[in-house]
Chain A
C-alpha cells in the first residue's frame, strides 16, 4: 500500500535527514569537505551490508542484523562525541557518524524495495510512496537546517543541546534493538504516554526521529539515554571552550 511505503521511507530517512541537517549547520562553511567524507564511506558500507545481508542476518542465531545495527547506532553516537570533543576530528567524525546511520537506513530501504512481499505493491505505489517520503523528509530537514541556524546564532548552547538529543536518539534505538535481542535487560517500565502522545502520531513520529521518543521506556533505556545525552552535551561544551 502507498501509505506503508511512505511510512517506511519516512521512518528510515527522517532521522538521517535531521542528523545531516544538524551536522551541516555545524560544518556550514566546510560542507563540501563534509559531503566528500560522508558519501564515500556511506556508499562503501551500504554496498557491504546489502551484499552480505543474508549472511549477516544468519549470524548469532539469526540476530546478526540486530547486532550490526546496534553497533552502527552506538558507533554513530561515539563518533559524534569524538567529533564534538576534538576539533581536529570534528569533520570526519561527524561525517562517519552520518554514514553509520545512512548505512542502516539505506540497507533497510533496499531490503524493503527488493523484498519478495513487494509484489503486493504496484511500481506506481512504490514510486509515489518513495517520492512522498523523500519529499517530506527532505522538506523537514531544510526547515530544520534554517531553524537550527537561527538557534545557533541566538544561543550556541541550544544547538549543542539539540545535537546531544540527536546523538542520544541513536543510543535509544540501539538499546531498543538490544532489548529486542535479549542482550540488554529492559528493567521496569517507567511510564506510559501512548495515550498522551502516540509514537504513531505525526508529532510522536517526528520526536522519535529527532530525539528517540519512546512512549513506554524501560529503566535501563532511560538511564542509558540520560547518560549519553549529558556526555555528548559535555563534549559539545568542551569543544566550545577550546575554540
Chain B
C-alpha cells in the first residue's frame, strides 16, 4: 500500500458499495418473491370465492368477507360477512364486525348493484409486514459482515504503524540504529525518516559525549604522569639539597596530583563501564577466584595499614558476567573499604548463593556512612563530607558510581547498610546466576 488514505478510502467505499448493493439486490429478490406469493394467494382466494358461489363448501378459509346487494337486498354473502351492510360509504373505509377490525371496499357499479368486499386489518398488516421484513433482512444481516470487514481493512491499513511501533518498543536503550520497514505508506514515511534522523543525531551526540570524556581523560593522563615524575624528582632533589618544606607544600602538591590522576583513571573506567556504551562480553567465571585475586592486588596497601581482611563463604561461585567489569566492581568495593577504614581495622568479604543469585557482601568496621547519605553516594563526583573527607583519603567520588553501573549492566541489585561490626559500612551486591 502506497498511501493509507487512498487504501482506506478506496477499499471502504468498495466494501460499502458491494455489500449495500448486494443487500439491496437480495432485498429486491426477497420482496419480489414474497409479493409474488401474495399475488398467488389473492388468485387462490378469488378462485375459492367463485367456487363457493357455485358449489358451496367451507368458507372459513377465505379470510375475505363479501356481500352483493341488489336493489337494497342482500343477494349473496360469504361466511364471514354479516347480514347487515358492511359499509355505507363508497370506496375504502374501516369497520368493526365479527369481533375484528376490517378494511372495507364498497363499489356501486350501477344504481341497482352494490358489491362490498372486506379483509381483516390484522391479516393485511401481517402481509405487509412479511414483504417489508423480507426486504429489511438482508440489510440487517449485512451489518455484522460490514463490521467484520471494516475491522479487517482498518487492521490491515494500520499494520505498518503497528510494525513501526513494535520495532521502536523492542529497541534496547543503547540501540540507536535506524528503524527499517518494508512497504511504508506515504503517511508513515515522513515519520519514519524523522525518527531515523533523530536516532542518528542521538547516536552522534552519545558518541561525541563518550569520545569527549574519554579523549580528555586520555589526553590529561600523559602530562599528569610527567608531572608526577617531575614532582617526585623535585622532591628527591629538595631532600638531597636539604631544602626544608615546613608548610608541606610539596606533599600537598603531590597529593593533589595523585588525586587528579585517580580521578582521570576513574573517569576512563566510568566511560568503559557505562551501560549505555559498554558492550558486555559475558562469560562463565568464578567470582570467588576473582575476589581472591582482588584481595591479592590490594594486599600491600591493606598490610601497610595493618588491616585484617577475611574472605568467607563459598570457595567457588560460577556465574555469567564480564570478567573485567566484575573485577573492577570487587576492586572498588575492597579499595573503598581499605581506604576509609582506620589503621588496624577489619574488612570482611563474604560470598554466598541465594536461590538463583550470587550475593557478595563487603563490610568494614570503619566510620561508615549515615543512612541519609546512602542514596547519594552513588551519584557521580559525590563524596561524603565533600572534598574535605574526614579520612583525608584521596578519592574521586566515582568509585561507587562505577560499581552501580556494573551492577546495572549485569541486571543485579546493590544496597548499602550498617556493617555487622560495631561500626562501618556493609555493601551487598546481588547478581543473577
Chain A interfacial positions (CB closer than 8 Å to B) = 2-3, 6, 132, 135-136, 138-140, 142-143, 146, 149, 153, 202
Contacts and interface: CB of A to CB of B under 8 A. Distances in A.
A143 B29 contact: no
A2 B14 contact: no
A146 B22 contact: no
Contacts of B14: 138-140, 142-143
Nearest to A2: B28
Contacts of A132: 21, 24-25
Given A132-B25, A139-B13, A140-B14, 15 more contacts: A3-B28, A6-B25, A132-B21, A135-B21, A136-B18, A136-B21, A136-B25, A138-B17, A139-B14, A139-B15, A139-B21, A143-B14, A143-B18, A149-B1, A153-B183
B23 to A, nearest CB: 11
Interface centre among B11, B24, B25 (most CB of A within 10 A): B25
A142 B24 contact: no
Say what secondary structure dominates the interface of chain B: helix
Contact of B7 (A6, A135, A146): A146
Contacts of A143: 11, 14-15, 18
Nearest to A7: B25
Interface of B: 1, 7, 10-11, 13-15, 17-18, 21-22, 24-25, 28-29, 32, 183
Contacts of A139: 13-15, 17-18, 21
B25 A140 contact: no
Question: Taking each of A2, A132, A138, A139, which has the highest tally of chain B beta carbons within 10 Å of its own beta carbon?
Answer: A139
A84 B162 CA distance: 37
A3 to B, nearest CB: 6
Contacts of B29: 3
Contacts, number: 42
B10 A142 contact: yes
B15 A136 contact: no
A56 to B, nearest CB: 33
Contacts of A149: 1
A139 to B, nearest CB: 4
A68 to B, nearest CB: 32
Contacts of B13: 139, 142
Contacts of A136: 17-18, 21-22, 25
Contacts of A140: 14, 18
B375 to A, nearest CB: 55
Contact of B11 (A2, A6, A142, A153): A142
Nearest to A149: B1
Contact of B17 (A135, A146, A153): A135
A241 B24 CA distance: 47
B18 A3 contact: no
Contacts of B24: 132
A70 B40 CA distance: 44
A65 B76 CA distance: 63
Contacts of B17: 135-136, 138-139
A238 B28 CA distance: 48
B28 to A, nearest CB: 6
A132 B18 CA distance: 9
Nearest to B26: A202
Nearest to B19: A139
Closest 3 CB pairs of A and B: A139-B18, A142-B14, A139-B14
B407 to A, nearest CB: 47
A149 B24 CA distance: 29
Contacts of A138: 14, 17
Contacts of B183: 153
18 contacts: A2-B28, A3-B29, A6-B25, A132-B21, A132-B25, A136-B18, A136-B22, A136-B25, A139-B13, A139-B14, A139-B17, A140-B14, A142-B13, A143-B11, A143-B14, A146-B10, A153-B183, A202-B22
Nearest to B24: A132
Contacts of B1: 146, 149
Contacts of A2: 28
Contacts of B32: 3
Contacts of A142: 10-11, 13-14
Contacts of A135: 17-18, 21
A146 B11 contact: yes
A12 B190 CA distance: 43
Nearest to B18: A139
A146 B22 CA distance: 20
A64 to B, nearest CB: 34
